[in-house]
A and B are shown apart, each in its own frame.
Chain A
């Protein structure tokens, strides 16, 4: 089955700097890669996703890049703000199935 690994497990950046979070996946049949943000006491919130037919997608300060050959995808957050502090999860679907396999999550801290 699919295995999704996320690294690093924690990341601390200065406000205004960029943050990059990387994930790798194992199933070459996976074609959908979402990123979720989870704040304390809340459920995961979908912030951006990418499908395997594109290499990059951007939404304001957030972008995701996908390298299908290397089987990795990354979340890029520019001009970080304290409210970006949260746990971020990457995930990948299992082939044609909509089941998602999640990475372990990374705790992002943005220092004011």
Chain B
């Protein structure tokens, strides 16, 4: 158990809908990272937040957004969902803005029908 929690575990929704995925980092960790894992693309970095501020951006679509709250939990918002957004979404956390070790949560499996 990494200490990172994610909810919900599974999410099934329809095209065009909007969902919110939630992540609680390990106690004391200030950085949260979001990744998308699909069969054809592997693990793709989406975005990083550090202590409430966006720190780095990866292959994140404009339909997706994230934020980190004062209690350091983070939410990933996915809107106008398409079939191709079906994937596993992981968050990871670590203690600093540039510390390298990242500890992953169990993931949220999103299915868009």
Q: How large is the interface on A (under 10, 10 to 19, 20 to 34, 35 or more residues)?
A: 20 to 34
Give Cα A13–Cα B36 distance, bound, in whole angstroms.
30
Chain A interface, DSSP helix/strand/loop, else mixed: strand
Give Cα A12–Cα B42 distance, bound, in whole angstroms.
21
Residues of chain A within 8 A of B107, CB atoms compared: 42-43
Give Cα A36–Cα B107 distance, bound, in whole angstroms.
15
**Does residue A22 face the partner (Cβ distance < 8 Å to B)?**
no
Q: Nearest Cβ in chain B — how far from A95, in angstroms?
A: 10
- Contact B45–A100 (Cβ < 8 Å): yes
- Contact B101–A99 (Cβ < 8 Å): no
Q: Nearest Cβ in chain A — how far from B19, in angstroms?
A: 19
Knowing A43-B105, A46-B101, the reply to whether A98 touches B43 (Cβ < 8 A) is no
Task: Count A/B pairs, Cβ under 8 Å.
Answer: 60
Give Cα A104–Cα B48 distance, bound, in whole angstroms.
21
Q: Nearest Cβ in chain B — how far from A97, in angstroms?
A: 6
Q: How large is the interface on B (under 10, 10 to 19, 20 to 34, 35 or more residues)?
A: 20 to 34
B97 interface neighbour in A45, A98, A105, Cβ under 8 Å: A98
Knowing A98-B56, A99-B58, the reply to whether A43 touches B106 (Cβ < 8 A) is yes
- Interface, chain A (partner B; CB < 8 A): 32, 34, 36, 42-46, 49, 51, 89, 91, 93, 96-105
Chain B residue with the shortest CB-CB distance to A49? B101
Chain B residue with the shortest CB-CB distance to A101? B45
Give Cα A99–Cα B58 distance, bound, in whole angstroms.
8
Give Cα A31–Cα B15 distance, bound, in whole angstroms.
41
Residues of chain A within 8 A of B58, CB atoms compared: 99
- Contact A34–B100 (Cβ < 8 Å): yes
Q: C-beta contact mask, B1-41 vs A, less than 8 Å → 1, else 0?
A: 01010000000000000000000000000010100000000
Give Cα A56–Cα B98 distance, bound, in whole angstroms.
23
